[in-house]
Chains A and B, each alone.
Chain A
Amino acid sequence: MILANRISKNYGVVQALKEISFEVPNGSSCCLLGRSGCGKSTALKIAALIAQPDSGTISIDGVVVNSDHGPNTLQSGRPIGYSFQEPLLLPFLSALENTILPDSTPDSERVAKDLLSRLGLSERISHAPSKLSVGEKKRVDIARALLSKPKVLIADEPFSSLDPDSRAQVSSLFDEFLQGGGTLLYSAVDRSHSTWAKAVLDLGYS
């Protein structure tokens, strides 16, 4: 379960988040909905331990994790998958190699190929990121976030830049992830992308 309690975050004089609270039970999904710049990505980064809140706490399965330095917590083996808003892929690695970055176990290549195949990228696994479209990069990034079978998956606008077929492929993988007991927190700008979630937290439209 993810529990955010009165989280605030400023970037200089810009207030990105002001005392936001939300809860995502295990096996459930929550969408942070809002226009650009409303703080969705900041909230997700804090939940993913990439950014530190100025105040408030974030707990995963009852453990307050933001008291530690984010990266240290990430490295402690706590399985959090994170998909970036703009897919970050190492340009000198292929799509497959980028996908297996978080988990280099012998089985990871098979799992990665399976994930990429289910996302419609079986013909693209050996391609460098420079040869992929934005939507394809996005799907590689999502596959990488799912590779190590995390308990918590945090995805920043996972459905943007995707065509309907690709959205359906991603939705299918997310459904499977939730059925396996995973917890999903994601963001969306488009309201139609939020209908899929069990809970929606509106950060910027209401």
Chain B
Amino acid sequence: MKISAGVLGRKKAFRELGWSAIIIVIMVAGLSGWVVIPSIGLSLESGLNNYANAAATYIVVSYNGNPSYSGQYLSNSTLSRFQSIAGVESVYPVGINETVVYTPGLTQQENNITVSITQVGYTSAVIGGDDGYPTQLLVLSSGNLPVPGSGSFILNANQGALGYNLSGRSLKMQVGGVNLTARSAGQSQYIPLIGNNLQILWDRTLMVNQLGSKLFSQTFGHFNFVVIKASDVAQVSSVAATVTSELASGGYKAYTVDYDALTVQNLQSLEAGTAPEYVLLGIVSLAGMILGVIAVSFVAVNRRGWEAGLLVSQGWKFKDVLTYYFTYFAVLLVLSAALAAVLSLAATRFSTVSFSVYGGSVEVMPTFNFEYLAAGIAIMLLVCAFVSWAMVRKVRRSGLDSILRSY
């Protein structure tokens, strides 16, 4: 058996469980706070950034009235001007027309009277081509793209109008005055800004076959909807303002310009304030832990300051006493770090944060940040070294007699 400084420190940590538990609780609370709080902030910012880059960089120009009776289609020259606006990455003009869905069994309550709804109009376009919905923006969340020529479509909205379920059933429909039967082949990833304006996406070949070239051109061949992609979120509001201005100067009074102002605003607000606040809270949490650990450590060690005096009186060198205290705190720190890692991992795994966007909210799962844990442990090691050094310094300054009289 050998009672070296390291062994003595370990024995103190594991045999004086009461004080060890108090110090560990403070260390775990501080370390967990330091890891989890900034992780939430960073995840929120990262999630919002990802969403913004996927959805909030879009600006849509849509016709206010019934698309079947669009009296004023957008000219090619207007679309060219859109393309030349600073901050515009791409312009996707689309011809939208109405698809009527016959809805047997659909009812609606109006003034306590049940009204049968026999048909519902949906905004629709074809996929691809110069006048169709750009394939670059079409990401399926379920199902498949329609097989060319088959009687199927893609649902581009979250759900059908009036809650009527368009998925998985054979529907009687009418496009351009032509009746047909079709079913949804899949659903696209819902982007509220686009999905609210364009609900059904047809296979182009099917439409050409059903309507014939001339009627197809009349139905979907004129541009009354435009998706504009800005180069980044910061450009969105200025691009939207310029597009609005272009429409006004071109006399397009029935068109409106929309973008996800809420997300843009949230992102800018998060970058300017919320995310740094989370980091600040994490720093406050770490600072609280450091002060707490220093205070409790001093109390824990000072209440038996004579221990250090005893060791010196038995011929121990001051560096051995320093090693003894440092080992004691380091053991507690290792245990605390392991507990904090588990707790932080659980906290980040089982918690979600959400932020409001156009048409709903997006949930983000915080990610566990190992860098913060490593930094927290490194900082705490320095704190442990400081407390140990301070204790040995106190023994040296007070003198053995004074320290031993505290027994």
B113 interface residue, CB < 8 Å from A?
no
Q: Are A86 and B310 in contact (CB under 8 A)?
A: no
CA distance A101 to B307 in the complex (A): 12
Q: Are A75 and B316 in contact (CB under 8 A)?
A: yes
Count B-side interface residues using an 8 Å CB cutoff. Answer: 27
Interface-central residue, B16, B304, B316, B400, by most chain A CB under 10 Å: B400
Q: Are A93 and B11 in contact (CB under 8 A)?
A: yes
Q: Are B312 and A88 in contact (CB under 8 A)?
A: no
Q: Which of A45-53, A161-169, A171-179, A186-194 contacts B (4 or more CB under 8 A)?
A: A45-53
Q: Are B407 and A86 in contact (CB under 8 A)?
A: yes
CA distance A71 to B321 in the complex (A): 12
In residues 385-407 of chain B, which contact A (Cβ within 8 Å)? 396, 399-401, 404, 407
- Which single residue of chain B is at the shortest CB-CB distance from A51? B401
CA distance A91 to B306 in the complex (A): 12
CA distance A48 to B404 in the complex (A): 13
Known: A100-B3, A104-B4. A88 touches B401 (CB 8 A): no
Query: A75: which of B2, B8, B15, B317 is its contact (CB, 8 Å)?
Result: B317
Known: A88-B310, A101-B3. A70 touches B400 (CB 8 A): yes
Question: Which B residues lie within 8 Å of A104 (CB)?
Answer: 2-4
Question: Which A residues lie within 8 Å of B1 (CB)?
Answer: 96-97, 100, 109
CA distance A204 to B3 in the complex (A): 40
**CB proximity of A203 to chain B, nearest CB, Å:** 18
- Which single residue of chain A is at the shortest CB-CB distance from B17? A92
Known: A88-B310, A88-B407, A92-B11. A71 touches B400 (CB 8 A): yes
Q: Are B404 and A74 in contact (CB under 8 A)?
A: no
Q: Are B400 and A101 in contact (CB under 8 A)?
A: no
B315 interface residue, CB < 8 Å from A?
yes
B136 interface residue, CB < 8 Å from A?
no
Q: Are A101 and B2 in contact (CB under 8 A)?
A: no
A197 interface residue, CB < 8 Å from B?
no
CA distance A90 to B401 in the complex (A): 17
A148 interface residue, CB < 8 Å from B?
yes
In residues 298-326 of chain B, which contact A (Cβ within 8 Å)? 304, 306-307, 310-318
A159 interface residue, CB < 8 Å from B?
no
A151 interface residue, CB < 8 Å from B?
no
A interface secondary structure, majority: loop
Known: A88-B306, A92-B15, A109-B1. A74 touches B401 (CB 8 A): no
Q: Are B3 and A75 in contact (CB under 8 A)?
A: no
- Which single residue of chain B is at the shortest CB-CB distance from A100? B3
CA distance A109 to B310 in the complex (A): 19
A138 interface residue, CB < 8 Å from B?
no
Q: Are A75 and B315 in contact (CB under 8 A)?
A: yes
CA distance A82 to B317 in the complex (A): 16
How many residues of A sit at the interface, in one of the four size bands?
Answer: 20 to 34
Query: B400: which of A50, A77, A86, A148 is its contact (CB, 8 Å)?
Result: A50
Question: Which B residues lie within 8 Å of A181 (CB)?
Answer: none
In residues 25-72 of chain A, which contact B (Cβ within 8 Å)? 45, 48, 50-52, 70-71
Query: B401: which of A50, A92, A100 is its contact (CB, 8 Å)?
Result: A50
Question: Which B residues lie within 8 Å of A96 (CB)?
Answer: 1
- Which single residue of chain A is at the shortest CB-CB distance from B12? A92
Q: Are A74 and B315 in contact (CB under 8 A)?
A: yes
A144 interface residue, CB < 8 Å from B?
yes
Question: Which A residues lie within 8 Å of B318 (CB)?
Answer: 71, 75
Query: B313: which of A82, A90, A91, A93 is its contact (CB, 8 Å)?
Result: A82
A180 interface residue, CB < 8 Å from B?
no
**CB proximity of B404 to chain A, nearest CB, Å:** 7
**CB proximity of A36 to chain B, nearest CB, Å:** 15
In residues 75-132 of chain A, which contact B (Cβ within 8 Å)? 75, 77, 82, 84, 86, 88, 90-93, 96-97, 100-104, 106, 109
Q: Are B3 and A97 in contact (CB under 8 A)?
A: yes
Question: Which B residues lie within 8 Å of A84 (CB)?
Answer: 404
In residues 232-278 of chain B, which contact A (Cβ within 8 Å)? none
Question: Which A residues lie within 8 Å of B306 (CB)?
Answer: 88
Question: Which A residues lie within 8 Å of B15 (CB)?
Answer: 92-93
Q: Are B400 and A51 in contact (CB under 8 A)?
A: yes
- Which single residue of chain B is at the shortest CB-CB distance from A80? B315
- Which single residue of chain B is at the shortest CB-CB distance from A48? B313
Known: A92-B15, A96-B1. A52 touches B310 (CB 8 A): no
**CB proximity of B247 to chain A, nearest CB, Å:** 81
**CB proximity of B255 to chain A, nearest CB, Å:** 80
**CB proximity of B315 to chain A, nearest CB, Å:** 5
Question: Which B residues lie within 8 Å of A102 (CB)?
Answer: 314-315
Question: Which B residues lie within 8 Å of A148 (CB)?
Answer: 315
Question: Which B residues lie within 8 Å of A144 (CB)?
Answer: 314
- Which single residue of chain A is at the shortest CB-CB distance from B310? A88
Question: Which B residues lie within 8 Å of A48 (CB)?
Answer: 313
| 8 further contact pairs, Cβ within 8 A, besides A48-B313, A91-B16, A92-B11 | A52-B401, A70-B399, A71-B400, A75-B317, A91-B304, A92-B12, A93-B15, A100-B3
For the complex of A and B, list the 5 residue pairs with the smallest distance between their C-beta atoms, beginning with the closest: A92-B15, A51-B401, A102-B314, A104-B2, A50-B400
Question: Can you give 26 A-B contacts (C-beta < 8 A)?
Answer: A70-B399, A70-B400, A71-B312, A71-B396, A75-B312, A75-B317, A82-B313, A84-B404, A88-B310, A90-B307, A90-B310, A91-B304, A92-B15, A93-B3, A93-B8, A96-B1, A97-B3, A97-B11, A100-B2, A101-B311, A101-B314, A101-B316, A104-B4, A109-B1, A144-B314, A148-B315
